[in-house]
Amino acid sequence: MNNDFRKSTVYQIYPKSFCDTNKDGLGDLRGVIEKLDYIKELGVDYIWLTPFFVSPQNDNGYDVEDYYNIDPRYGTMEDVEELIAEGKKRGIGLMFDMVFNHVSTRHEWFRKAMEGDPYYKDFFIFRKGKGDGVPPTNWESKFGGNAWEYVEKFDEYYLHLFDVTQADLNWENENVRKEIQKILKFWMEKGVRGFRFDVINLISKACYEDDETGDGRKYYTDGPKIHQYLKEMHDATFGKDEGIVTVGEMSSTTMENCFKYAGRDTGELSMVFSFHHLKVDFMGNEKWVLVPTDFQKLKDIIFDWQTKMAEHNAWNAVFWCNHDQPRVVSRFGDEGKYWKESAKMLGTIIHCLRGTPYVYQGEEIGMTNTDFTDISQFKDVESLNHYQILQDKGLSASDALRIIQIHSRDNGRTPMQWDDTKYAGFSAEDSAEPWIAVNGNHTRINAAEQLKDEDSIFHYYQKLIAMRKELDVIAYGDIEPLAVKDPCVFAYRRTYEGHELIAAANFYGRDCTWKGAPDVTGYERVIGNYKDAVSVENGVMNLRPYEAAVWYK
């Protein structure tokens, strides 16, 4: 394991969809143990596991009922301890996903609150309504509907920014913060080497007032005490161990706040996830629409975050995919003729940026969006809610389904494609049917095939991950955007102590010419997704469909 997170790469596992060893149709922790050698071969330093704690699974584990115990459907505490130990043997640290904005309404704290225990009632955000049947504010839940749920017993409402079964915690209460510190210390003592904090910038609420837009975000995003809370958590727990890596998922955040969240000397977190670059196929903040990708906006956002975070000595997590996002090769690449080239091109762009790269399970083999044709195949609560909401707004069922097919979180949640057998090697052929359907293209796109093929997407990702360890310019270098206004080229220069690296990519499935390209004479082409070199003459670079190349001097 590389203790310098700037030289590291993180592999994200969604356990439910990774590998099923007990034949019940759900991935489990023993499945992660079974695949550790595959993950080691890829070359990553950390595994981020999405939550596997006891949960009713209304939001796939992001509704935690018990932070100290393992959901039996995933395994046992002994499995977790073995996974940590076996990862350590292979130089891989475990990063756990901690959901601290809210808990399941089945959590002991909430059950005691509902019994009327004043100590635990203050763990949550209860408010009187504005009148008969009128919630305290007009805020909208991120999963649709009002964000307040009425409790007749108290004649009060509790806040749930997500599902009605996910009650927001009251971070104003010092006892809540102390309980969270206890949870982190417990897992640190077990040997966990990293933490990813779910929607952590929502924990400080500014006030409880109506919002003219109706969503309420301005009152709970990057709130007034957020930096105080993070510093306190840092100082009491993971800040005592320099080897622990932390990353905060920052929902609709501002860059100015991220300078503090992930500043080198601010004492909060190692790095941040921001999502602005993954809204370039939205209409404003609205994702449930079909609009073309705004490539110029994508470049502007990535370069803005890259350069300004660097200026403020702050660190990014860089990524295309996770369990909440569609598959990037379907989203920004090509599932067809240029599948392999476009998957490699997208990997090249991310892995040579300033920041720690995250690879989501299956990204390294070019997995695509689902091939679902009926709403009954989808499992995600957000997708199912919005399928109905879109029809309530007047869309036809077929138009609503098309939007769900493109944007659903289930696109990233279909079973990992290990081989070409019936259930893609996720489960044995005599297993229960997987909890969500396997993509039919697993007969063509699978890890077994790619491990045998030196020209595969897997081996390309393996090389990108190794390059970050080998070339200090990737880990530590400054970044200079290139081809900033070019309609098809994504390019940048990295520099560090006399070393230089130039990355260039054609974002589209057609030939393109980059006029004003840098002279790469005397540079070594260290990686590229076409076998032969890019044509560069007199400041003109001719790039083939989805071509990417990186030069080093």
Catalytic residue ranges: 198, 249
Specify burial of residue 420 (Cβ count, 10 A radius: 0-12, 13-18, 19+): middle
Contacts of 2 (CB under 8 A, 6+ apart): 8, 45, 469
Residue 416's nearest CA partner among 73, 48, 22, 17 is 17
Report the alpha-carbon distance of residue 93 to residue 40 in Å, rounded: 11
Q: How open is the CA angle 265-267-269, to the nearest 5 degrees?
A: 105
Q: Within 10 Å of residue 64's Cβ, how many Cβ atoms?
A: 26
Query: Which H helix or E strand runs over 495?
Result: strand 489-496
Q: Which string of DSSP letters, residue by residue, matches 98-154?
A: E--SEEETTSHHHHHHHTT-HHHHTTB-EE--SBTTB-SS-PBPTTSSBSEEEETTT
Buried b (16+ CB within 10 A) or exposed e, 200-236: bbbbbbeeeeeeeeebbbebbbbbeebbebbbbbbeb
Q: Which string of DSSP letters, residue by residue, matches 211-261?
A: -TTSS-HHHHSS-TTHHHHHHHHHHHTGGG-TT-EEEEE-TT--HHHHHHH
Q: Within 10 Å of residue 186's Cβ, how many Cβ atoms?
A: 12
Q: Evaluate whether 205 touches 240 at the Cβ level (below 8 Å).
A: no
Specify burial of residue 488 (Cβ count, 10 A radius: 0-12, 13-18, 19+): middle
Report the alpha-carbon distance of residue 28 to residue 52 in Å, rounded: 9
Residue 203's nearest CA partner among 170, 159, 228 is 170
